[in-house]
Structure formats: C-alpha cells, structure tokens
Amino acid sequence: MSIAKVEPLTTARALRGPFDYRLPAAMAGLEVGSVVRVPFGRRRVLGVVVELAEGSELPPERLSEPIEALEAGVPAELVRLGLWIAREYCSTPSRGLELVLPPGTGAAGQRVRSRVELRAEIAPAGEQALSGGERLGVKQRAVLEALRTGEMSAAELADAVGADRQVLRRLESRGLIVSRSSRLRRRPAQLEVGAAAGRPELLDEQARAVDSIVAALDGEAGAPRQLLLHGVTGSGKTEVYLAAVEAALARGRGAIVLVPEIGLAPQAVGRFRARLGDRFAVLHSALAPGERYDEWRRLRSGEASVCVGPRSAVFAPVHDLGLIVVDEEHDPSYKQEGDPCYDARAVARRRAGECGAVLVAGTATPRPESWLELPRIELPRRVDERRMPPVEVLDMRSADPRSGPLHPATWEALEQVRGGGAKAIVMINRRGFAPWLTCRSCGRPWSCPNCDVSLIVHRHSGRLVCHHCAHSEPLPGACGDCGSTTLSRAGAGTEQVEALLRERLAPMPVFRLDSDTAAGKGAHPRILAGFGEAESGVLVGTQMVAKGHDFPEVTLSAILDADATLRFPDFRAAERTFAMVAQLAGRSGRGEAGGEVIVQTLAPEASSIAHAARHDAAGFLAEEVERRRLLRYPPFSHLVRIVLRAESEPRLDEAATGLATALAATLPEGADLLGPAPMFRVRNRHRRRLLTKADDREATVAAVREAVERLASDRSLRKVAIGVDVDPQ
Ligand code: ADP
Ligand code: ZN
Ligand code: ZN
C-alpha cells in the first residue's frame, strides 16, 4: 500500500502532523512536494506531501485518499527547507511550507492558476476537405482557410472569422483539425529604465573576486563556498554578481540574486534582464498574481534559471541551484516581520549549504555577523577611481533651534547646488510634517486613542495620523481641554523639510520620496525618474532616497537626523546608523563634478557616525564586534523575543508570567531570561515582551516552542496572541 504523509496547511499551532493518506493507483505519480487537496476532519484542505511510505501504522480502512493534486508541486529540496524554517524559527510546519508553495497558493486554497488557451492547426484531412470540395459549413470552411497559413489560437480564430468553440469541436470530431491546450505566459511589465547590456572588461580586483567564486563553483579544494564581497558603492559589485551568475549558467546551474525590497526599483533589475535575457525571471510583490505564478512556473520547469527578487525569492524553485547572491546583505528588509520571522540571509546560507551552491553576500557596510563568519573579498576602490566624497559632520547641539531642522551650513551648501545647477539629496528619517503637537497653554499632547504614541501632523492632508494603526483625525484648530488656539508643532518630518526647501530654494524643483508619496502604483519609479530627468533639483525623503538609484549629477547629500536611529533601544542601532550614513554618502559625487556629504547630528562623537564620516567600515566593525563580545550580543549569543498581545491586561499578565515561569524551568543552562516587560500599546492591544539570550540556540528554540505550544493550547488564554521572533532585528 502506498502512503503519502501530508502536512495540512492549517494555522493551528497545537496540531501534530504529518498525516497518512492512502494513494489510489491514479495518484501513483505523486512525489514529495506535490500539493494535494485532502479530506481533513470535516473539512477539505490543501496539504503538502512531505514523505512517501510503503505502509502506515493505521489500518487501511482508517485512511482516506487525497481528492486531487494541483498542477504544480514544489521540489523536495524546498519542502525540507520549509520544514527547517518551521523548526529554526519556532513556527509551524504549515507556515514554513506556505513559504515555498507556488505564488497564490496557501492555507486559503489556490487562487492563481496557469492560463491556458486552445490552439488549433489544420490536419491533412482538413487540407483534403478544402481541395476535394467536401461539404463544409461557411464558418468551417473559413476556419480551415485561416489555419492553412499556420496554427492559431481559439481567440484569434474568433476574431478573424467569428468561429466559436462549437465550430472548432465539430471540425475536430471530423478529424479536420487538431487542437491542443497551451499555457500562456503572463509577462511582467518592464518597469526598469536605462539598462545597458554591455559587458565591461573587469578590473583586476573584480576579476580576482570572480575567480574566487568560480573556484568555489568548481568545488576546488580549499575554496570557501560562502563569501563576503565587501566594497563601497560603485566599486563594481554588481558586475561581479553578473559574471558569477554567467559562470554558474555556463556550468549548467541556476542562480538566485536577492536584492532589498526597495532595490527592485528601476535600475538593478534592468541590468540583470538585459544581460541574461530569457533565462531571467523576476519574482516580487509588485507583479500581478498571474505574472508571479507564471514566472514561478518558468523557474520550476527549468525554462528560466536565474531569479532576481527580494527576501521571498530565496524560495524560488530554481533547478540545480549553483549560486545565491545576497546584495546589500546588511539591509533590514531581509528579515520577515510576520510568523515565521525568518531571515532570508540565514535561509540562503542554509539552502546553499544543502544544495551545494556558492553563497556571495555583498555590501559596503557588512554586518558584524558576516564580518566575523565569512571569508572576505575586498573591492577597495570605486570603479571610476573617484575618491569617496568628503563628509562634514555638523553638531546640532550648538545650532540655534530657531533656525529649524537645517543647519545654516547645510543651507549654504544647498544654495551652492542651486547656483551650480546640480542636484542634492536630503534625507530625514521621519515622514509627515511634525512628529508632535502640543497645546502651548496647558501642555496637552495629542496621542493615538488606540496606541500609546503621539500623533504625527500631516499638513498636506490636514490630519493627525498614527503611524502604528489606521487612526487619523482632522488637525485641531484649538485645544479641546483649555480652548487655546496656540498649538505648537515640534520636530520636523519630510513634509516640513520639503516645504522649507521649496520656499527657500525656488525655483529649483523639489521631489519628495517617502511611503506617503510612493504609495500609488508606479509612483516610486516615477518620482525617481522625475528627479533624474530634471535639470537640477532636490530629492528629499526618508531612507528610501538612499537606495536603488544612481544619479551622477548629485553633488551633495545631507542627512538631517543621523542619530535618530541611534536613540532606539536596540543593540543594532549603531550598525544601522553606520549603514545609513555610508549609503547616503555613496549617493553623492558619482559624476564628474565630485561631491560632498553633510551629516547633521546631536551625537557627533558616536562611533558609527565618526567612522562613517571617514568611510572606515573596518574601523567601525572592529569596535562594534568588541562591544558585542563584551555585552554578549549576537553573534556571541542567540536572542529569541516573544511578544504577547491582548486586549485584557490581566489575561495578558497571567499569560506572560506563566510563560516566564515555564521558560525559567526549561531554558538551557546559562541562558538569560529578561522580562516580561511592558511595551507600548498598539491597536488597542496591550503588549508584553520576553527576551532570551543564550549560547545554545537549538535548546533555547526547543524550550520556547514547547512553552508557547502549551500556552496556545490553554483555552482560557486563547485571546492572547503570541509571536515568536528568533534572531530579532
Ligand atoms: P556596485 O554594485 O558596487 O555599486 P556597480 O557594479 O554597479 O557597483 O558598478 C558601478 C558602475 O561602474 C556601474 O555603472 C557599472 O556599469 C560600472 N562598472 C562596473 N565595473 C566596471 C568595469 N570593470 N569597467 C567599466 N565600468 C564598470
Ligand atoms: Zn490646552
Ligand atoms: Zn494608533
């Protein structure tokens, strides 16, 4: 008896699969990775075959059969990867497997399928019928005449001669035509701009980098198989990736290139498509569901063998994977925020290891983890031999607060840009007009009724907006407590800086890029294109302005609140700040005119800012690694964060204390448990946080999983939501 062990796609945490199903002869072709619809209790659900067996511990009469198998399944390699993620990130098999399924397929069913069309061609008997004067209807004759010139689809025939399906069926039953179904490809629109397919001759450093990767591809003894490619922006990393991908293809193997979410904007993808042509596929959330599904199918069938995409593309069903590139490996978008909170960089390393693929992580600002763990290839210079732009750090503690969010020296530099007809980028990492509104008479603050945070002033829409939930309300004209009409707006966001720049730098055009202006479809590339085509101008916005583009006319970049990220209570704050300043610095002076960088900050002496100002990644990393070692932070330990959320505070505390007690008893020796600590309320949910810090990752994750599963099965606490984040960012 053939048995398929099926993991049903359900969300219940306490469920223990997989479950046995008997395979009828008609389903003998099922494999590990096949997606099946199965009876499950009183429901029918989708499930994934995770194993095949010859028998079951259960008697045959207790087993049911799958109802059907979907057209596309998953490679066995990805089934193992999905199950690994479920364990590694303390999630469920179902959630882990959903990640690797075809796009549009999941616990909710299969929402996207291939689109097929009927194609017809004339049969020899049809040719004879035409010439032999056999009796034919008018429409039938027209169809045969049309098909004489070549194969056509049913839709084309309907257009050309008005023949419906009925006519075609008749002709086919008389043996005069032959028809077949053929899959249509829904092609993603090409949003990218200006990509040259040229293949420059590699510089010595680039060639050496490619050689190391090729040595690893060829499995040469002693060649490291996972590498860090460290080089400043413009040092030619992307050319190295392209050459490495071509080397993998030349060896009959496939490749995945991961890019940050935002990096997908115009320029990066275009270079890959231009160089790789039909073997290239792209997978990302901006594609229509049908396009995504078809790109996935092209990879699954082997028609395409290179996939470029963000985080989730690490699950692309590429055949015989030979290479995974993680571009901008420091980028936070590689970490998934919802369950399972996987880290695509860690998943890439696991998958590469399992497939015998080579992994290349590239960046100008490596994470301390990669710096310590991966052998390095350095690209020390910009390709164009230009030096990195000088960075001026402006201490805002001594600036007159009345002069607003821009330092007088920043204004001066901007005015020079206007005078010279050049371009500038200004970054402030906060959207909206002002982050606080208070009453000047009684001090009343305006905060969100659902979250414990202040509301942000958005002047353009005339509203106060919460950045954590959907709440917004009209901007008040007066204080509701004391009636005073003098309200004070403190701090500045992108909207305010945009207004100030427009006023003072007119007639120079100002372009704002943040998640408010980039919300509409295609808005992001449109804003960048507007800035690119303008004679001169300023691009102002959040971190989005520092990524995914290359404008040689930019001679100044300024960052207004470089230490804003440093104030987060997060051990990665310094690393983030360094990366942000370095990224923005890399956007200036890429053309003939050279450039400069201004960093406004309240903490000029901070290691991250001081080192970024000297373009000294190695110096920063040396200090940062030491700091982490002393404080026993990753990579010198592993963190697991558990967040509990509930409307009822007593229930929440009961759950949090219970969990802490359970963990205290089961965590491995030497593990620290911090909390439960309160977090600010979001969307009317109170929150508590627990954090473990331990050397033994596996034992810690196992203890957390067990404690969380026990809590999830306690019915009195079912209104408490639990989220587990292994390696929180
Ligand atoms: P990075 O990815 O490190 O920012 P890129 O690969 O994008 O660097 O290279 C920066 C620019 O230099 C690009 O315009 C690229 O086409 C060009 N370039 C890269 N390598 C070479 C080379 N060997 N010869 C000439 N131009 C090159
Ligand atoms: Zn008041
Ligand atoms: Zn809110």
Q: Count other C-beta atoms under 10 Å from residue 219's C-beta.
A: 10
What percent of the chain has a predicted confidence (pLDDT) above 90?
Answer: 51
- What average pLDDT score do residues 218-234 get? 92
Q: Do 280 and 192 meet the contact criterion of CB atoms below 8 Å apart? A: no
Whole-number Å distance, alpha carbon 462 to ligand 2 midpoint, is 20
Q: Helix 124-131 to helix 138-148 angle, to the nearest 10 degrees?
A: 120
Ligand having the closest approach to the CA of 209? 1
**Cis geometry, peptide bond prior to residue 668 (ω within 30 degrees of 0):** no
Angle at 163 between CA 161 and CA 166, to 5 degrees: 170
Domain count, the chain: 5
Question: Is the model's pLDDT at 483 over the cut of 80?
Answer: yes
Closest CA to ligand 1's atom 10: 234
Least confident of 214-218, 388-392, 569-573: 569-573
428-443 residues labelled b (16+ CB within 10 A) or e (exposed):
bbbbbbbbebbbeeee
CB-count exposure of residue 84 (10 Å: 0-12, 13-18, 19+): middle
Is residue 289 pLDDT above 80, yes or no? yes
- For residue 465, pLDDT over 90 is answered with yes
Checking if the pLDDT of 426 tops 90, the result is yes
Residues 308 and 395 in one domain: no
Range list of β-strands (E), 529-635: 537-541, 554-559, 596-601
How far apart CA 679 and CA 691 sit, in angstroms, is: 12
What is the pLDDT, as a whole number, of residue 493? 92
The reply to whether 330 and 365 lie within a common domain is yes
Q: Which of the listed residues 228, 238, 550, 592 should we mutate to test ligand 1's pocket, taking the one with most ligand atoms within 8 A of CB?
A: 238
d(CA 91, CA 88): 8
Cα(338) to centroid of ligand 1, in Å?
36
Last residue of a domain, one of 184, 216, 245: 184
Is a pLDDT exceeding 80 seen at residue 354? Answer: yes
Ligand 1: residues with CB < 6 A are: 200-203, 206, 231, 233-239, 383
386 pLDDT band, cuts 50/70/90, is: confident
Query: Within a domain: residue 478?
Result: no
In this prediction, residue 325 carries a pLDDT of: 97
pLDDT in tens, 499-525: 999 999 989 999 999 988 988 877 888
CA 242 to ligand 1: nearest atom: 6
Q: Is residue 291 part of a domain?
A: yes
Question: Does residue 711 share a domain with residue 595?
Answer: no
Tell whether 657 is covered by a domain: yes
Name 378's bridge partners: 230
Predicted pLDDT of residue 544: 85
User: Do 48 and 180 share a domain, yes or no?
Assistant: no
Tokens (6 digits) for 573: 């704050």
CA 469 to centroid of ligand 3, rounded, Å: 4
Does residue 462 lie in a domain region? no
Spacing, Cα 683 to ligand 2 middle (Å)? 26
Tell me how far the alpha carbon of residue 685 lies from the centroid of ligand 3, in angstroms: 10
- Pocket probe for ligand 1: among 229, 241, 383, the residue whose CB has the most ligand atoms within 8 Å is 383
| Domain membership flag for residue 28 | yes
Closest C-alpha among 459, 183, 206, 213 to residue 360: 213
Query: Is residue 665 in a domain?
Result: yes
- Ligand approaching nearest to the C-alpha of 327: 1
Instruction: Check residue 641 and give its pLDDT.
Output: 93
405 & 504 share domain: yes
Peptide bond just before 188 cis, omega within 30 deg: no
pLDDT at 191: 53
Q: Give the position, in ligand 1's atom list, of the atom nearest the Cα of 233.
A: 4
- Report the distance separating Cα 339 and Cα 210, nearest Å: 37
For residue 8, cis peptide bond before it (omega within 30 degrees of 0): no
Whole-number Å distance, alpha carbon 542 to ligand 3 midpoint, is 20
- What pLDDT does residue 267 have? 66
Residue 682: CATH number of its domain: 3.30.70.600
Which of 155, 184, 213 is at the close of a domain?
184
Query: Which residues are 674's β-sheet partners?
Result: 691
How far does the centroid of ligand 1 lie from the alpha carbon of residue 285, in Å? 27
| CATH number of the domain encompassing residue 348 | 3.40.50.300
The closest alpha carbon to 424, from 406, 402, 446, 439, belongs to 406
Average pLDDT of span 458-469: 90
- pLDDT-derived band at 455 (thresholds 50, 70, 90) equals very high
Distance between first and last Cα of the chain: 48
Query: CATH code at 79?
Result: 3.40.1440.60
Question: For position 197, what pLDDT does the model report?
Answer: 60
Instruction: Using the 3D structure, point to which of 67, 94, 110 is the last residue of a domain.
Output: 110
Who has greater pLDDT, 376 or 16?
376
In the prediction, which pLDDT does 399 show? Answer: 82
* Domain membership flag for residue 439: no
Ligand lying nearest the CA atom of residue 384: 1
Q: What is the dihedral of CA 313, 318, 324, 329, to 10 degrees?
A: 0
Q: Which atom of ligand 1 is nearest to the CA of 235?
A: 3
Domain that holds residue 177: 115-184
- 6-52: pLDDT as tens digits: 999 987 766 678 999 999 988 888 999 999 999 998 889 999 999 99
Judge if 350 and 260 occupy the same domain.
yes
Residue 224 scores a pLDDT above 90: yes
pLDDT surpasses 80 at 413: yes
At 693 the pLDDT is 92
Tokens, residue 273: 């498509």
Q: Do 105 and 249 belong to one domain?
A: no
Mean pLDDT on 74-81: 96
* pLDDT-based confidence at residue 570 (cuts at 50, 70, 90): confident
Q: In this predicted structure, what is the pLDDT of residue 533?
A: 92
Indicate whether 133 and 30 sit together in one domain: no
592-645 pLDDT, tens digit per residue, is 667 899 999 988 889 999 999 988 999 999 999 999 999 899 999 999 999 999
pLDDT computed for residue 261 by the predictor:
78
SS3 percent helix, strand, coil of the chain, rounded to 5, is 35, 25, 40
Helix or strand run (H / E) with residue 308: strand 306-309
Q: Are residues 424 and 544 in the same domain?
A: yes
701, 18, 55, 61 alpha-carbon torsion, rounded to 10°:
140
Closest CA to 282 of 183, 189, 184, 182: 189
Structure-block tokens of residue 260: 């940050």
For the CA of 195, the nearest ligand? 1
- Is residue 296 predicted with pLDDT exceeding 60? yes
Q: What is the mean pLDDT of residues 207-220?
A: 96
> What is the C-alpha R_g of the chain?
30
Residue 714: per-residue pLDDT = 80
pLDDT score, position 630: 92
In a domain, 469, yes or no: no
CB 607 within 8 A of CB 567: no
Nearest CA to ligand 1 atom 23: 202
* 143 and 47 in a common domain: no
Note the pLDDT tens digit of each residue in 235-267.
Answer: 999 999 999 999 999 999 999 999 987 655 556
Separation CA 367–CA 18 (nearest Å): 38
- 645 and 623 fall within a common domain: no
Torsion over CA: 200, 206, 211, 216 (sign): negative
Question: Of 50-59, 265-274, 527-536, 659-668, which range is least confident?
Answer: 265-274
Same domain, 540 and 399: yes
Q: What is the average pLDDT score of the chain?
A: 89
